[in-house]
Amino acid sequence: MSDNPKEAYILAAGMGSRLRPYTDKVPKPMVKVWGCPIIDRSLDALAAVGVEKCVVNTHYKADVLHRNLASRTEPEIIISHEEGALLDTGGGIAAVKDEFDAPFYVLNGDAVWEDAPAQNLLSSLAEQWDSEKMDILIVLQPVETMKLTEGVGDYDIDENGRAIRSKDKSGAYMFTSLRINAPHIFDNAPQGAFSYLQLLDEAQARGRLYALVNDGMFHHISTPADLEAVNNIVQGRGSA
């Protein structure tokens, strides 16, 4: 890809129940890491690489998230509020697929990463993207580097750089949630709620699921202990 994607989607509708009491009054993307709400760190990173529009889905404590997002000037924020039943990680994106006409970034609202020295992870993702051979390009984190929070062995990588899901979670890499995907993967998506994992598996079956290994750090914040461990390291040590 010659340029970074100009559009993105952030999954921010989850309940964050495992992170209570931090999520008793705010949604998980509004919990602060190094003094800044997680979602603001992600939006700042997206804006820095030229993203002009970001769709954010909301549900739990949506009013808190809406107020925060209303204060931003870039990127442009489009709210996709899920009032009733949640649409899950695939259905939420499929519901607004018409917003995207080119490959776009997708990430979870609780994604916390640190760039390696002299690297911008989002730009590296765009540089590796190849529409000719890829439907989805995912960022993977070596499980062995997950020191502060628990790593899960979601994937392995074959000799051609393709991602292979480890169904028994014994893989060498954890899926960070950061990715670029082609809009057409949603063309025949189911109506209503479904998991994005279905799209990952379909892309893998077509030989069009590829991986980029993060040289920096990724923090899987699920519990209060995870959040406290990450916040206890030097604030601002890295960027996300």
User: 232: pLDDT confidence band, cut at 50, 70 and 90?
Assistant: confident
Residues 67-86, mean pLDDT to the nearest whole number: 92
What residue spans define the domains of the chain? 7-231
pLDDT score at 2: 54
The three state secondary structure string of 186-214 is HCCCCCCCCCCHHHHHHHHHCCCEEEEEC
Q: What is the pLDDT of residue 234?
A: 58
Q: What is the CATH T-level fold of the domain 7-231, as seen in this structure?
A: Spore Coat Polysaccharide Biosynthesis Protein SpsA; Chain A (3.90.550)
Residue positions counted in the chain: 240
pLDDT value at residue 20: 92
| Neighbouring-strand partners of residue 95 | none
Express as a percent the part of the chain with pLDDT over 90: 73
Are 231 and 149 in contact by the 8 Å Cβ rule? The answer is no
Amino acid type, 206: R
Average pLDDT over residues 126-150: 94
| 109-118 as b/e: b if 16+ CB within 10 A | bbbbbbbeee
The Cβ-side half-sphere exposure at 164, using a 13 Å CA radius, reads: 10
pLDDT at residue 236 tops 50: no
pTM attached to this predicted model: 0.92
What distance in Å separates the CA atoms of residue 118 and residue 133, rounded to the nearest whole number? 27
Centroid of chain to Cα 12: 10
Beta bridge partners of 213: 140
Task: Please give the pLDDT value at position 238.
Answer: 45
Phi, psi dihedral angles at 163 (to 5 degrees) = -85, 135
Is the separation of the CB atoms in 115 and 42 below 8 Å? no
| pLDDT number for residue 18 | 87
pLDDT at 239 over 50: no
d(CA 194, CA 66): 24
- 106 DSSP β-pair partners: 9, 179
